[in-house]
Amino acid sequence: MIFTELNITDDIEAFNRRSNTYEDSWLQRLYFDHIHKGVLGLVNVESAPVSILDVGCGTGRLLRKARERWPNARLIGVDPAEGMVKKARLMMPDSTFMVSPAESISLPDMSVDLVFSTASFHHWSDQLQGMDEISRVLRPGGQFLLADIVFPPFLLRFIHHRKFRNHSEVREMFEQAGLEVHLQRRLLLGHFLVTVGIRH
């Protein structure tokens, strides 16, 4: 199976324009908060993570929830939209935020215990390269939790966004990146797929 690389310049510009109002959007409270809760509920770690990375972090909303559960963890967010990163830095000055796409994360190899990405995967320019980067920065035994929108096959014929993936495609990408898929579960009436992978 071949996965194509796509340009995300228009997406980044759109998120920059929305960065000042994004945090207060009704989508955050009624939609993304439920996704974040579901994803955090699937984390299964024996000890508290030392460092947590959110790829496509937006304004840092998921990381603020993670801080409630793991108050001593180092929190890191990356997002290609500079406006989102500026907002996140204002809201979480004690955390680290970088303007960066998933495909190029400025962190050392094996430096992160836990990685999240929620509702940003379909925006990535090169999904396989992004997966490889996440695998690179994860420590052995570290977990990656990816949550993204899924559509029934019949609907994909009417959606011209070519980067939505089904469960088997996501599983294949995890495996190509050296991540063992631990589980896949649907959230929000099946509209979101969460895939949990472990780096060995």
Per-residue model confidence as pLDDT tens digits over 113-170 = 999 999 999 999 999 999 999 999 999 999 999 999 987 655 555 555 558 899 999 9
**Domain-embedded: residue 2:** no
**Domain-embedded: residue 1:** no
Note whether 45 and 69 are within 8 A (CB): no
**Domain-embedded: residue 4:** no
CATH code of the domain covering residue 139: 3.40.50.150
Q: Is the pTM of this model over 0.85?
A: yes
**Residue 152: per-residue pLDDT:** 60
**Domain-embedded: residue 98:** yes
Question: 55 is in which domain, residue-wise?
Answer: 9-199
**Residue 160: per-residue pLDDT:** 53
**Domain-embedded: residue 3:** no
**Ramachandran sector of residue 188 (left: φ over 0; alpha: ψ -120 to 50; beta: rest):** left
Per-residue model confidence as pLDDT tens digits over 23-38 = 888 777 778 899 999 9
**Domain-embedded: residue 23:** yes
Per-residue model confidence as pLDDT tens digits over 65-118 = 999 999 999 999 999 999 999 999 999 999 999 999 999 999 999 999 999 999
Domain count, the chain: 1
**Domain-embedded: residue 24:** yes
Of 1 and 116, the one with more pLDDT: 116
> What does the alpha-carbon distance between residue 54 and residue 66 come to, in Å, rounded to a whole number?
10
